[in-house]
A = this chain, B = another copy of it.
Amino acid sequence: MIKPLSDRVVIQALEREEKTKSGIVLPDTAKEKPQEGRIVAVGNGRLLDNGQRVSLDVKAGDKVMFSKYAGTEIKIDGQDYLILSERDVLAIIE
C-alpha cells in the first residue's frame, strides 16, 4: 500500500472515451488538455504555518479532473499511477 505525504494524492488516470455529438470517436491528439482520473490514496494533509493540519478536499474514490502535466509517474505492482499535489487537482466530477 502507498501512503502519500502531506497534501499529495495518488491518481489512476482514466482513459476517456471521447465522442463528438455526431458520434465520431476522436483520435488521441484531438482530446482536451486536463485529464480525468480516480483518487486511490490521499495524504495526511498540508500543515499550515500556525501548526494546524488541514485534511484534503478529495478522498479515495473521487473522480477528478487534474492538470495533465502535473506530478510524477509511479508504478505500483506493474500499474501506472500519478502522484501529485492536491493543488493540481482542478475539480471533482460527480
Contact = CB atoms under 8 A, between A and B. Distances in A.
Interface of A: 1-6, 8, 10, 20-21, 32-34, 41, 43-44, 47-52, 54, 57-58, 65, 67, 72-75, 78, 83, 86-87, 89-94
24 contacts: A1-B93, A2-B93, A3-B92, A3-B94, A4-B91, A5-B57, A5-B92, A6-B57, A8-B91, A10-B91, A20-B78, A34-B72, A34-B74, A34-B83, A41-B91, A43-B91, A44-B57, A49-B49, A49-B50, A51-B52, A51-B54, A67-B72, A74-B90, A83-B90
Contacts of A72: 33-34, 67, 90
Contact of A51 (B48, B74, B83): B48
